[in-house]
C-alpha cells in the first residue's frame, strides 16, 4: 500500500501594489545627513546615482494618505481569496507579518491594538470564531516565517487552510534626511496554504532558519532623525548597511544549503530562487555564494526573478508580491510548471534568516 502524507500547497496568491510611484528624481531636493548629524555636502545627484548603482532601485511605490498597513493587507488577502476560490469562512488561520503596525501619515506611532490580523479578519467580514488571527513581527523574514509556522499547523492536522500575509508601509518610518530612505517602499502580498493528502510529496518540503542576536541584533534599529535641528522626536528605521551586507552574503547561502539538504535536494534541482529584495547587488552576491557552496562557477542569474528596480524594498511584502507575480505570469520568462523546485530566502532585522523549499504541485 502506498503511504500518503499531508502536504502544504499554495492554493492562491494575491498582492497590493500602491499606485503612487516615487522616482529617484523625487529625492534630489532632500537634505541628507550623515549619522553624526553632519549634512552631506556632495550634490544630491551623486548620492542618488550611487544608491541606484548599488541597489538597482529606479523607483518605488508609496501608499496614499488614506491607507494604513491593515488596509493593504486586506487588499492582498482579498486578491488571494478570489484567486483561490476558497470560502473565507473555511480559513483556520490568518497570520499577518509586519513590523510597525498601522501608522497614519499625521501620527507616526505604531498602532497594534487590535492586532492587524484581527483587523484584516474584520475587514473580510469573516464570522467564523475558529479562524484564529494573529500577527508575526520577525523583521523582513516575517512572511516566510509565517509560512513555516502555517506549514506546521497543516502538517499536524490541526488546520486545513491558512492565509499568510506580509504587509508594510516603510515610507512612514523612513527618515527623509537619511540616504537609506530611498530604499524603502510600501506593499502587501498574501498566500493561502491548503492541506492536501497525496502519495507524492509536494508543496513545502523543508525549511531552515536562524537568529543571530548576540552580535548582530542591532544592525537595524529605531532612532531619531539624522537632522537634529528639525525638532522632531519621532523614531525612524536605521540600518548599518555595510555590516548587514557582509552578514547577509556570508550567512544566507548557508541557510539555503541547509534547507536544500533537509529536502534531500541539490542546487541543480532548483528551478527558481525567490529572494527577499533590499539590494540588487547584495542579492546577486548571495546567489553567487550559494552556487560557490556547490562548486559552481557559472551563476545563472535568470533563476532569480527581480522586482526591486520598480517596486523598491517593502520588507515582509517583497517575497509574497514576487511570488504572486511569478505564479500569475506577470514577469516575462519566469513561468513555473508542475514539479519545479522553488527556494525562498530572506534576511532582516534581528538578525533573522530563513529559507524554504517548495515543489510546485
- 273-299 pLDDT, tens per residue? 999 998 999 999 999 999 999 999 889
Distance CA(341)–CA(259), nearest Å, equals 12
Q: Is the confidence at residue 81, as pLDDT, over 90?
A: yes
How far apart (Å, rounded) are the C-alpha atoms in residues 266 and 91?
A: 34
Helix (H) / strand (E) element for 45: namely: helix 44-55
Mean of pLDDT values over 107-124:
95
The confidence score (pLDDT) of residue 35 equals 75
Q: What is the pLDDT of residue 171?
A: 96
pLDDT score recorded for residue 136: 98
Q: 29 by DSSP, 3-state: which? A: coil
Q: Which CATH architecture has domain 5-198?
A: 3-Layer(aba) Sandwich (3.40)
pLDDT classification of 231: cutoffs 50, 70, 90: low
Residues spanned by CATH 3.40.47.10 within the chain?
Answer: 5-198, 203-359
Grid coordinates of 230:
528639525
For the chain, counts of helices (H) and of strands (E): 9, 15
Mean pLDDT of 68-81: 98
Q: Is residue 34 very low, low, confident or very high in pLDDT (cuts 50, 70, 90)?
A: confident
Q: CA 337: distance to chain centroid?
A: 23
Q: How confident is the model at residue 343 (pLDDT cuts 50, 70, 90)?
A: very high
Cα diameter, the chain = 74
- Which residues, including other chains, have CB under 8 Å from residue 231's CB and lie 6 or more apart? none
Predicted confidence at residue 42, as pLDDT, reads: 84
Task: Say if residue 22's pLDDT is above 80.
Answer: yes
Q: What is the pLDDT of residues 92-103, one digit of tens each?
A: 999 999 999 999
Q: What is the topology classification, in CATH, of domain 203-359?
A: Peroxisomal Thiolase; Chain A, domain 1 (3.40.47)
Amino acid at each position: 500500500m502506498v503511504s500518503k502524507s499531508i502536504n502544504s500547497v499554495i492554493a492562491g496568491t494575491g498582492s497590493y501594489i500602491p499606485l503612487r510611484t516615487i522616482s529617484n528624481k523625487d529625492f534630489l531636493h532632500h537634505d541628507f545627513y550623515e549619522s553624526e548629524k553632519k549634512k552631506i555636502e556632495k550634490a544630491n545627484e551623486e548620492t542618488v546615482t550611487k544608491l541606484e548603482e548599488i541597489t538597482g532601485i529606479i523607483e518605488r511605490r508609496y501608499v496614499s494618505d488614506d491607507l494604513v498597513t491593515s488596509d493593504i493587507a486586506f487588499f492582498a488577502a482579498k486578491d488571494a481569496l478570489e484567486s483561490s476560490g476558497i470560502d473565507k469562512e473555511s480559513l483556520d488561520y490568518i497570520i499577518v507579518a509586519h513590523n510597525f503596525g498601522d501608522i497614519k501619515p499625521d501620527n507616526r506611532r505604531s498602532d497594534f491594538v487590535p492586532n492587524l490580523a484581527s483587523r484584516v479578519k474584520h475587514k473580510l467580514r469573516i464570522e467564523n470564531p475558529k479562524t484564529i488571527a494573529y500577527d508575526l513581527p520577525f523583521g523582513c523574514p516575517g512572511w516566510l516565517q509565517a509560512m513555516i509556522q502555517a506549514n506546521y499547523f497543516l502538517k499536524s492536522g490541526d488546520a486545513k487552510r491558512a492565509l499568510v500575509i506580509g504587509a508594510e508601509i516603510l515610507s512612514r518610518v523612513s527618515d527623509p534626511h537619511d540616504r537609506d530612505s530611498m530604499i524603502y517602499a510600501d506593499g502587501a502580498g498574501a498566500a493561502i496554504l491548503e492541506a492536501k493528502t497525496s502519495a507524492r510529496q509536494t508543496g513545502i518540503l523543508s525549511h531552515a532558519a536562524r537568529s543571530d542576536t548576540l552580535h548582530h541584533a542591532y544592525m537595524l534599529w529605531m532612532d531619531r532623525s539624522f537632522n537634529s535641528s528639525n525638532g522632531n522626536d519621532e523614531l525612524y528605521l536605521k540600518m548599518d548597511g555595510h555590516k548587514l551586507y557582509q552578514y547577509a552574503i556570508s550567512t544566507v547561502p548557508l541557510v539555503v544549503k541547509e534547507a536544500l539538504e533537509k529536502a534531500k535536494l541539490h542546487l541543480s534541482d532548483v528551478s527558481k530562487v525567490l529572494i527577499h529584495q533590499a539590494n540588487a547587488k547584495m542579492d546577486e552576491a548571495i546567489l553567487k555564494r550559494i552556487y560557490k557552496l556547490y562548486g559552481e562557477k557559472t551563476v545563472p542569474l535568470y533563476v532569480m526573478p527581480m522586482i526591486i528596480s520598480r517596486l523598491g524594498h517593502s520588507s515582509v511584502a517583497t517575497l509574497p508580491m514576487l511570488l504572486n507575480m511569478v505564479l500569475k505570469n506577470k514577469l516575462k520568462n519566469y513561468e513555473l510548471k508542475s514539479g519545479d523546485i522553488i527556494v525562498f530566502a530572506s534576511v532582516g532585522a534581528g538578525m533573522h534568516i530563513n529559507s524554504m523549499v517548495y515543489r510546485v504541485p
